[in-house]
Structure 1
Amino acid sequence: MIINIVAGGPEDLLPNLNDYNEDQASWVGVDRGVFNLLKRGIKPTIAFGDFDSVTIEELKFIESQVKELKRYQPEKNETDMELALNWATEQKPEAIRLFGASGGRLDHFLANVQLLIPQLLKKFPIDISLIDRSNLLYLKAPGKHKITKMKNQKYISFIPIIKEVPDLTLEGFKYPLKNRHISIGSTLCISNELISDYGTFSFSEGILLVIRSRD
């Protein structure tokens, strides 16, 4: 099972959600993301939010369409996305994809990226990615990882999430590296490209944010 979570980020940054509407996919709506899902004819299994970003009429429509609606007060410790992501990980899916989680408010975007960190550090981490119209991003723990070429997102950037990432090696890239020490704040690994159908990246410590982008 794959769980797709749609939050209330700018609608024009959403990819074509029908491309991700496989038979094994389950949909979760977050705040205004619920309304954006329903507009596209996709009915979420469950929805989370304080729904302060929808009108009264839109909320009534949501209530009439979604059977399981988890509604919260705006004054709470967790964001709506964190509540939805916590629920999704408890279902133990094969993967989780986040949409509507970038653009708009930068505080929400940065918080959504940081939500991926505790999930990565679990004993059995779930593959979680954040996707918008131009970008795909995810976190990776130490080890050797294969990465394949994507026609529409040829640029690949590697950004340290914690203070240091030692022994970063990039193979099959336009700009290769060998056991390079990368510190947070470095722009050395921005906008690289694969030179063949696939490549590998490896490192010995830390956490890397991998971002695949198009212009």
Structure 2
Amino acid sequence: MRIGIVAGGPERSLAELTEYKEMIDLWIGADRGTAYIMKHQLTLHIAVGDFDSVTETELASIRMHAQQFDQFPAEKDETDLEIAVRIALTHSPDEIYLFGVTGGRLDHELVNVQLLYQLVSKGIKAAIIDNTNQLSLHLPGVHTVRKEANNQYISFLPFTHHVGGLTLTGFYYPLENKTIEWGATLCISNQIINNYGTFSFDDGILIMIKSIEPFKK
């Protein structure tokens, strides 16, 4: 099962959700993310959060359209997104994609990246997706990544203090058995040469960010 969770980040950074309509089996809205799901005319399977960022009129519409509605107090020990992730896990998903989680407060963005670790450590494929970026965490092993556009850039950063044995094959800037640490910019703004590239490493946890520069030919 593939689950899409939509949070209430700035709409200007939101991915075009309808592009994922056929891929996502279950949509969960967190707070204002519920309104984004309805605006894109997608099925609002589950609505969760304190809903302090929607109007009374919007809240009434959310209650009417949501197949499951769970409201929580504003003062709580979890963010609305973390609650949505917790509920998503009860459905035994294979993949979870987070939308509407970038472009706003930096503290929320950073903790949202850390939320991916909860998913990846459970063997769930997960990524953060916005209108120009896709961020994912990877455990040691061999991984394949597909070229999606000529103006796509791929960057690798260590999530843990260091990532060891990193090898990049099929990239414009290849790499062979290198260790990268926090603050290193060695693996920023790479590109896949043909249709696919591979990356492998044997120690640590790696962040991969696929970015599109929409105005660059």
Is the structural similarity TM-score above 0.5? yes
Is this contact kept in 2: 1:157–1:191, CA < 8 A? yes
User: What is the CA deviation profile of residues 132-166 of structure 1, one whole-angstrom value per residue up to 9, with x for unaligned ones?
Assistant: 11001100000111111111661000010111111
TM-score by length of 1: 0.95
Q: Alpha carbons of 1:63 and 1:86: their partners in 2 closer, same or farther (altered >3 Å)? A: same
Cα distance in 2, alignment partners of residues 152 and 172 from structure 1:
14
Runs of 4+ that moved beyond 3 A: none
Task: Give the SS at the match of 1:136.
Answer: strand
Q: Alpha carbons of 1:134 and 1:177: their partners in 2 closer, same or farther (altered >3 Å)? A: same
Is this contact kept in 2: 1:5–1:97, CA < 8 A? yes
Task: Give the SS at the match of 1:64.
Answer: helix
Cα distance in 2, alignment partners of residues 67 and 196 from structure 1:
44
1:23 shift after superposition: 6.8
Q: Alpha carbons of 1:118 and 1:24: their partners in 2 closer, same or farther (altered >3 Å)? A: closer
Task: Give the SS at the match of 1:70.
Answer: strand
Is this contact kept in 2: 1:164–1:181, CA < 8 A? yes
Q: Alpha carbons of 1:130 and 1:210: their partners in 2 closer, same or farther (altered >3 Å)? A: same
| RMSD, aligned CA | 1.3
For residue 184 of structure 2, what is the aligned residue in structure 1? 186
Cα distance in 1, alignment partners of residues 129 and 67 from structure 2:
26
1:104 shift after superposition: 1.1
Q: Alpha carbons of 1:35 and 1:24: their partners in 2 closer, same or farther (altered >3 Å)? A: closer
For residue 173 of structure 2, what is the aligned residue in structure 1? 175
Is this contact kept in 1: 2:48–2:71, CA < 8 A? yes
Stretches of structure 2 lacking an aligned partner (at least 5 in a row): none
Task: Give the SS at the match of 1:174.
Answer: coil
For residue 90 of structure 1, what is the aligned residue in structure 2? 90
For residue 42 of structure 1, what is the aligned residue in structure 2? 42
Question: What fraction of aligned residue pairs are identical, expressed as a percent?
Answer: 48
TM-score by length of 2: 0.94
For residue 119 of structure 2, what is the aligned residue in structure 1? 119
Task: Give the SS at the match of 1:193.
Answer: coil
